[in-house]
Amino acid sequence: MERKIICTSCDREIDSDERTYTIHGDIICEDCADGKTVVCDRCGERICDSENEGDENITLCTSCYDNYYTTCEICNAVINTDDASYDDGDRSYCDECYNKHCGSIHNYSYKPELVFYGNGDRFFGVELEIDNGGKLSANAERILNAGNVSAEHIYIKSDGSLDDGMEIVTHPMTLNYHINYMPWREIMQEAIRLGYHSHRTNTCGLHIHVGKKSLGDTCELQEERISRILYFVEHHWEELLKFSRRTESQMNKWAARYGYKNDPSEMIEHAKKTGNGRHSCVNISNYDTIEFRMFRGTLKLNSLIAAIQLVDIICEMAVTFNDVEIKPIGWTEFVESIDIKKYPELIIYLKERRLYVNEPMESEEDV
């Protein structure tokens, strides 16, 4: 005799051809499952309505919520912990509430509408990491006040690669604007007063973005010139390693090289195949920019300006010279060609790093 199956929720006998569900070991009928249970959107487990830890936008079992989600302190939206922003007391917020109520330090994925400063075709966006001074909104506010007196030059983001710091990010600016109008000195002095370091850490980098449009009007022309940039970096790797102030192991972790090819035309396809992703010496994976990631962080003004000037010259060479012309250029010939009047900070830095034609000079220590 066939055993009867009774729904533990409504006490109805379940027909033999009817679908059943098991919740916490109890068998329920399809009608009760539809009306009284839900399915976790992350793991697919069926749970009782009352056990749903999600909101109107997502259904979550307790385990998935505890392991992967949190709730905004203000609007009660359930958000993935990777997308949440946190204040000084580690309270969590969604992007909208954080930007409205707490917004000194944005989460890592934050991207504002860009403002372009200066007149020219080549714009540089700088990301400067600082560490060891805290992830405090009050500190971020003081740095923002130093940088945004006359305009919204910078914003600040959290960065999981830092121990106890933040990332200062600029809007795109021409080289001239960075040198003459951007309040870098005030920003750096404020960061130092607050106890931050950049060079004197094992975590901080200085990343410089350059708009791809400045390299050509078409994708084909941009890729041709990016190939020459990659070739120059690989061809002069030892000098640029010294310029960067990073160690070889730090480069391998944060800004790995692609490997030398004998002809510039081979470099970009070779780079695409290496699988380094964005942790490359020159990150080419962004849609609008290429990102020079070689440089160690710094709170010394001349070191920062010199790095931007070097990137400017490398890009200009890639635009001006063809593959045949750029191949034989050695380091000595390169530094001798730098316009001293146009790039005085770079010349000083090259001399400090013993990279300028046997003309060393003493320097202040980087911070």
Would you state the pLDDT for residue 102? 63
Span 70-121, pLDDT tens digits: 999 889 999 999 888 876 567 788 887 876 666 688 888 888 999 999 999 9
Q: How confident is the model at residue 164 (pLDDT cuts 50, 70, 90)?
A: very high
DSSP string for 243-302:
HHT--HHHHHHHSB-----SSGGGHHHHHHHH--TTSBSEE--SSSEEEEEEEEP---HH
**Above 50 in pLDDT, residue 263?**
yes
Calculate the average pLDDT of the chain.
Answer: 92
Burial of 251 (C-beta count, 10 Å sphere; 0-12/13-18/19+): buried
Q: How far apart are CA 352 and CA 346, in angstroms?
A: 10
Work out the average pLDDT over 57-66. 95
Q: How far apart are CA 232 and CA 311, in angstroms?
A: 11
Would you state the pLDDT for residue 1? 45
Would you state the pLDDT for residue 107? 81
- Identify which has the larger pLDDT, 281 or 107: 281
Q: How far apart are CA 335 and CA 317, in angstroms?
A: 12
45-48-51-53 Cα dihedral, nearest 10 degrees: 60
Tokens of 225: 């010139």
- Identify which has the larger pLDDT, 362 or 4: 4
Q: What share of the chain is helix, strand, coil (3-state, %, to 5)?
A: 40, 20, 45
Indicate the range of 2-16, 109-123, 273-287, 337-351 predicted with least confidence.
2-16
Amino acid (one-letter) located at 65: Y
Would you state the pLDDT for residue 2? 58
Of 190, 196, 186, nearest to 166 by C-alpha is 196
